[in-house]
Amino acid sequence: MILTSTCIAFSGFKPKQIGVPMGIKKLGICYVILLVIFLMAFPSTGMPQVKPATIVVSAEGLADPNFYKDKTLAYDEALRDAKRQAIEKAVGCYVSSQTIVENYTLVRDRVISKSEGAIKRILKVVNGGIQPDGFYHVWIKAEVLAAPIRNAVKALSRMERISIIKERGNPTFSVGLYIISPDSWGRRVPCEVCNREIANRLRSFGYKVISEDEANRQLQERIKLLLAQGLTREVASQIVKKPSDISINGVIKLRRSQRVRLASGIEVQTTLLTAWSIEAIDNHTTEIIFSENFRPPQGVMYNDEDEAIMDVGSKVGDVFSQDIFKDYILRPTHDVILTFSGMPDRQLAKLMKKELLGIRSVLNVIFREFLAGGDTVFEVEFAGSREQFSDILDGIILKALNAKYGKDTFSIREERGDIVKIQVNNPRAITREKLEQGVPTQLVANVSQERIKEVVKSPQLEDKYKDVLNL
């Protein structure tokens, strides 16, 4: 007679006692596998070491050179303003843009000012100097710590939070853990029990979960959609938005121990965990949030492999559904492909990137392509969930552009999935003169008078923009 049981290796945890045949007890402690994978990997503090979550933001700072006189002073003020704008954009990930406008003084004093130390580092600075629009411009790309901003927002009174904190869309996880065992002949076989346990636990915390196979299917559908828009497969593969926000992947390697004959004549053969590896990837940034490789020590025995794997799945689900990823899954940002049809020429199309960066809800912009027929492709990251994007597009982005270039110059032609096509109805309205000498987009539409007064300080600029900015 042969008894087969599963042993789980685990350090620092005492599982429930499970009844086993007397003959097996004579073996002593088995070589063990598969127990609560993640807790094994924790350092002495009991929690994994996760890097602080950050939000990368591109921002434009303005200063009135007529007021500061000296160019060095104007540059310093424009740089300070760019940092404030970076913080304000990051705050916009947790506070609606409209609320910032309507409660600018409150948000500035209670949130933005208390988050000024949140800039972790400046990744890039572009000194634009005095531009034809009359302002001194500085552009920066900054890495902003999310925690201080969230804490400042949470510090508002209950009534303030009700009106200010905007709802976050639930993140989507894809889960794909695999087993390599003697029964699989060296091939990776989906660990259905483990995946199901992890998925159930994540769903119990309100997260969306799809399988790795479903994520791959949706990914190919999105690539086909981009190909149908005229993009090459290479470009489509680079810019396509993955169906899941966070991917959990891992491999569990099993082997059988040698058979042991007990004094009673019973033969015992155990299943051992030889190694495992698991990682979680933020699909927005391709950053590996968590990664661990492990070879287990000796440990405790379970009755069978299914019970062991279910326990592993449950514990891993606990870890993934609680504190480890809270700094990542609370990032309410989203990427879309924004296509402008009918831009006059490539140079003006590239300059449109700066116009978009001046808008509060736009965090980052990448110029991708200028296609035949005047189609310009941008990859845009904005503050908000995909469900909120239609309102942001209509009420903020297009509103700001039309306020500068003329009513109905831009309109939405098509919105499908993560691809939005904007029609330039009046290409003649987009001129280099208006683009360079017109009022900065950050000061038109969806901006408070307090913000305008922060940067328009001299009689010269007040006189130039009095009609446009209602000064």
What pLDDT is stored for residue 137 in this prediction?
96
Q: What is the pTM of this model?
A: 0.56
Helix (H) or strand (E) run with residue 10 in it: none
DSSP class per residue in 85-147:
HHHHHHHTTTB-HHHHHHTHHHHIIIIIGGGGGGEEEEEEEEEEEE-TTSSEEEEEEEEEEHH
Q: Does residue 134 surpass a pLDDT of 90?
A: yes
In a domain, 38, yes or no: no
What pLDDT is stored for residue 1 in this prediction?
39
In a domain, 364, yes or no: yes
Q: Greater confidence, 72 or 193?
A: 72
How many structural domains does the chain have?
Answer: 1
Residue identified by tokens 């510090």 is 155
Candidate from 180-189, 355-364, 395-404, 446-455 with smallest mean pLDDT:
180-189
Tens digits of per-residue pLDDT, 15-24? Answer: 333 344 444 3
- In which band, very low, low, confident or very high, does the pLDDT at 166 lie, cut at 50, 70 and 90? very low
Q: What is the mean pLDDT of residues 113-135?
A: 88
Q: Does residue 303 surpass a pLDDT of 50?
A: yes
In a domain, 317, yes or no: no
**One-letter amino acid of 382:** F
In a domain, 8, yes or no: no
What pLDDT is stored for residue 93 in this prediction?
77
In a domain, 378, yes or no: yes
What pLDDT is stored for residue 47 in this prediction?
37
335 to 326, 328, 381, 384, 387: CA distances (angstroms): 20, 15, 4, 9, 12
Q: What pairs with residue 290 in β-bridges?
A: 280
Q: Greater confidence, 61 or 202?
A: 61
In a domain, 210, yes or no: no
In a domain, 89, yes or no: no
In a domain, 282, yes or no: no
Listed in sequence order, the residues at least 6 apart from 299 whose beta carbon sits closer than 8 Å to its beta carbon are: 7, 8, 9, 10, 11, 29, 30, 31, 32, 33, 35
Q: What is the mean pLDDT of residues 313-334?
A: 56
Helix (H) or strand (E) run with residue 329 in it: helix 326-329
Residue 432, phi then psi, degrees to nearest 5 = -60, -35
User: Exposed, middle or buried by CB within 10 Å (0-12, 13-18, 19+), for 228?
Assistant: exposed
Cβ–Cβ contacts within 10 Å for residue 205, how many? Answer: 13
- In which band, very low, low, confident or very high, does the pLDDT at 186 lie, cut at 50, 70 and 90? confident
Domain containing 387 equals: 332-444+457-465
What CATH number corresponds to the domain at position 436?
A: 3.30.70
Q: What is the mean pLDDT of residues 282-310?
A: 66
Tens digits of per-residue pLDDT, 156-165? Answer: 655 455 454 4
